[in-house]
Structure formats: structure tokens, C-alpha cells
Amino acid sequence: MFPESFIANLNKELGEDADRLLAALDGEPSVSVRYNSAKEQPKEGLRKVAWCEYGRYLEQRPYFTADPLFQAGCYYVQEASSMFVEHLYRQSVGEQQGVRLLDLCAAPGGKTTLYSSLVGRDGVVVANEVIRKRVMVLADNVMRWGAGNVVVTNNDPSHFGSLNEWFDVVAVDAPCSGEGMFRKDHAARDEWSEDNVKLCAARQRRILEDVWCALRPGGVLIYSTCTFNRAEDEENVEWLVENFDCEPIHIDMPEEWGVVRSEASGVECFHFYPHCVEGEGFFAAVLRKGGEPSHHRSPKPRKNPFADLPRQSVAELSAWVANPSEMVFKQVGENCYGYYSATFADVRQVSEQLTVVHSGVCMGQIFGKKLRPDHSLALFCEVNRRDDVEVDLATAQNYLARRDVDANLFTEGINLLLFEGVAVGWVKRVGGRVNSLLPKQFAINNLTAPILD
């Protein structure tokens, strides 16, 4: 059952279409994934998500957790409607190089991994999550994706004021009342109330106000929610236009996609209704920040987390990546990290101002003169494939479950375990024994269900 006030609001907004939407919300949700083109191309025969180059629909939902390719970051299980931010990015940002992008409300990481693919290795994504427990999930998903161009932070939106006019793109997938998830999450129906909608709308405005100064003039704001109501959607866009210098951006989009256009103070808005598109409820709007740069001074560093490494250590780390001349290696705490040279200055500036949980590629720790590689390095898209060993599905799953694997498959020392040509993780053979280097938080328990074919 749906809350009566929710039904009344839909009838007011959608008229006769409200019944069609309600019927769709009682149906079965679609299943979709987005492939990581740096690791694997989409499988043949899968239907394409029209607005996302590497998005695909599945006919049924397999047990993703047991799939070594999922664990290796070959694809991300992402709701199709939310992939629409790729189309908005391509239309509003285009082929701009060296993009600094803030994904403000980033956990669990679906849009973060998408943005990291879009900005490329000469861009940087700052993925923020205010809740500590959720930020660790975000960091794990970023490591699986392996792009190496993401900084994961754990800050309140107000903290980004120190990076005044620093970002080219700010994406705010705002915490909301969750109406668009009613089909997938029936508990959300019980939690819904008009008071909660008002509370969410006020919180969304506070978030937008806090982060507006971090967007440079001429930069792009992508605002999205998973709700249908105007209070959290169009009315917040209207509030932005009334209170800040905003300019509309025209987005080309085929009508056959089924996305419903609306308008808020001259800004184009987009609604995904489950009875019109193959996806869950979603709202998005994109606009450009007006005005002129303030020519402010860069903020003074609050801290310097990076330490230089001895030349010998740099040489050791260089041997573990495919393009070492394009990377910078630093010590952060007990671990060594790798960063793309083109964006390290940006990573440094963010790290000097905010609370960073993960950044770049965690290479591991050097003991004596040798690196003990971190799991993050195994999943890095540009890991050097040395001492790699291809294994079958059963062996890969046993590894992921931290069970014993056949020592005869591996050479003495550290090996990179591959499944279908994709790096899954490290093992170390010592005599007749194999030690798994898989962190406990990545271990899986249930291997009985079928995986994605």
C-alpha cells in the first residue's frame, strides 16, 4: 500500500498517469549493470541502456557477489535511470580536459565510478560522503573500479568552502524521501510522510547553499534525486535560480527514451517515471554557474599528508605499474600511494584541506627493499601484469572466499591471480602453501547461487 498523501500528490501532478505509475511501482524492477571499459567490454546480446554507453539490462538478477568479475570491478550494478547523469555530463561538459569534479553525496559509489570513467586520467573526482560507515563502502567500490583518479573524503558539505571556486563540475545526488525507490524498497513506503518530504527539501537546499561557492563561475551543477515530488525537485531548482546566479543549459534528448521534460525558472528538468522508462524513479536538472571568477588566493595548507620516498623505493614501486613515467609515488602514513602526475597537484590540494579516506592507488608497504602489494594495486586498471596466473571459476571463487587454493598453480613468491584475463587479487606462495592477500572486507561467504553469464 502507498501513503494516501503520496497518492494525492501524484494525482495532482500527473492526473490520469498517476494510476499507471502506481501500477508500475507494484511491479518488478529492472536489473542493469554498467561495464568498466578499462577492464572489460559489455557482453554480447545484452540490451543497451540508451543514455549510457556501457550500461546494459539483464533479463534476471544473478548473484553478483559470487562473480569474480564483479569483485574485480569489471562492472557495477547500477540502476539504469541514475546512469542518465552520463548524458547530462556529455551534453554540458563535453570533451573538456582536466576536469575537477565533486560528487558530494557519493556513497555507495555508482555515480562516482561513472564520473571517474568520464573525466579520464587527466581529471580528478572528489567523492564525498558525510557518514563514516557509508564512506568505507564508497572507498571499497572506488578501489574495485580501479581508475586511480578518485579522492574519497569524509566531510560535511560546508567544509568545501575552503576550496572556493575550485571545481568545474559539482554533482549533488541529494539525500531524499526516496519515492522513486518504492518499487525496490517497500520499507521506504512506510517511512514516507509529507513532513519528511519538507525536511528533505530543506536539507537539500542547505547542501546546495553550502557547496555553491566551491563551483567555479562557468562550472556545471548536476542536481538529482530519486523522488517524484516538486518540493524536492523543481522547487529546489527554482530556489537555486532565485538565490544564485544560474544559467540554463539545453540538453538534447530523443523523445523515444520516454524521459519526461519539465521546466523550473527556465532550467530544463528531467523525470524518470517507471511506467515510461525501464528504470526506477529519478529526477535530474543541470545548470551553469554565472558570474566572474573572484581571483581569490589559494587556501593555506592545513596539513601535508605526503612524504617523499627514497629513490630506491620509487624504483621498486615503478616496477608494479604499466606506465610509471606518468605517475608520482608518495608515502602516506604506513602505505605507499601512486598518483597520476597530471593531477597530483589537485590531489595534494584536496588532501591539505579535507579528511581523505582513500586517494589514487594504495600500492602497499615496503619491507626491506620489496613491496608487499595492497589489494587496491591488484585492481588498478594499469597494474603491471607480472607473475600473473590465469585460474578457473572454482579457484577464483575459493580465493574470494579465502579458502585454500592449489599451490601448484603458482610460482614461488607473489602472484597476480587472473580470471578471464582480469586481475582479481594477490596470492603469495611460500613452499607448498599459498597465502591469500585478500583483505577480509572483500571476502565472500555464499558461493551457491548462479553468477552473471
**CA-to-CA separations, 13 to 76, 257, 280, 288, in angstroms, rounded:** 33, 21, 18, 27
Count of positions (residues) in the chain: 453
Q: β-pairing, 31-35 with 100-103?
A: unpaired
Contacts of 127 (CB under 8 A, 6+ apart): 103, 106, 109, 112, 138, 142, 150, 151, 152, 153
- Is 226 a residue of the active site? yes
Q: β-pairing, 55-58 with 124-128?
A: unpaired
Closest by Cα among 194, 167, 165 to 179: 194
Taking a C-beta distance cutoff of 8 angstroms, is the pair 89, 288 a contact? no
Q: Can you point out the beta strands (E) in 273-340?
A: 282-289, 327-332, 335-340
Question: For residues 289 and 310, what is the distance between their CA atoms, to the nearest angstrom?
Answer: 44
Closest by Cα among 261, 245, 243 to 253: 261
Taking a C-beta distance cutoff of 8 angstroms, is the pair 395, 402 a contact? no
**CA-to-CA separations, 293 to 151, 166, 209, 210, 298, in angstroms, rounded:** 25, 10, 18, 18, 13
What sign results for the dihedral spanned by CA atoms 33, 36, 42, 47?
Answer: positive
Question: For residues 381 and 39, what is the distance between their CA atoms, to the nearest angstrom?
Answer: 7
Closest by Cα among 177, 176, 175, 174 to 189: 177
Helix (H, G, I), strand (E, B) or coil at 453: coil
Closest by Cα among 402, 388, 322, 334 to 362: 334
Q: β-pairing, 31-35 with 55-58?
A: antiparallel
Considering 176, 213, 226, 381, which one is annotated as catalytic?
Answer: 226
Taking a C-beta distance cutoff of 8 angstroms, is the pair 420, 69 a contact? yes
Backbone φ, ψ for residue 215 (5° rounding): -85, 130
What are the catalytic residues? 226
